[in-house]
Amino acid sequence: MIKKISLSSIILVLLFLFSVFACAQDAKEAPKEEALEFAGTIIDNKSAEKYLDELSTFAPRYPKAQAVIPLSVEAGYSIYTAEGELYRFSDDSNKKIIEFLQDRNNTVQVIIEAREDEEEELELISIENRYRGVKPVRHIRKEPYHKEYEPNQKNR
């Protein structure tokens, strides 16, 4: 009787281990949620709500100085994408964005990689400047301010 109990217990343990191994293999093979990549402007949630109807014109002019003030930090952040969509960040992601914006070389024009969580907020994976060290040129004057002025001649 003792031999039967130990043999049956060994069989049960082996069956249990086999089922655990099979479940672990299924978990490895299950497709993970794909990361999303967005290019856009980081905007504090308070400003995003205030200018919701005007975000297409507001976002390109949104200054970094506005993003780092205490009211903006408390409100959290969203990203207004180049496609015209607004996505809110999770609390953990907001902390990463605050750290990113504290570096004086970083801007609010960014490229992010993120996943959407259960609450439809973005979980930030990575963030970088959209213009990698080069700010976009808004306007280059092709002709001199005064037509009479020539740069290499003295004014009379």
What's the pLDDT tens digit per position in 71-99?
Answer: 999 999 999 998 999 999 999 999 999 99
Q: Is residue 150 situated within a structural domain?
A: no
Q: Is residue 66 situated within a structural domain?
A: yes
Q: Is residue 134 situated within a structural domain?
A: no
CA distances from 84 to 39, 69, 90, 153, 156 (A): 10, 25, 20, 49, 52
Q: Is residue 96 situated within a structural domain?
A: yes
Instruction: With residue 5 as reference, give the H or E element that holds it.
Output: helix 2-29
Distance CA 65, CA 102 (A): 10
| Residues spanned by the domain of 49 | 40-129
Q: Is residue 155 situated within a structural domain?
A: no
Q: Is the pLDDT of residue 133 over 60?
A: no
Q: Is residue 8 situated within a structural domain?
A: no
> What domain count does the chain have?
1
Q: Is the pLDDT of residue 61 over 90?
A: yes
Q: Is the pLDDT of residue 48 over 50?
A: yes
Distance CA 64, CA 76 (A): 14
Q: Is the pLDDT of residue 147 over 80?
A: no
Q: Is residue 1 situated within a structural domain?
A: no
Q: Helix, strand, coil % (nearest 5) of the chain?
A: 40, 20, 35
Collapsing DSSP states into helix, strand and coil, what is residue 24? helix
Q: Is residue 142 situated within a structural domain?
A: no
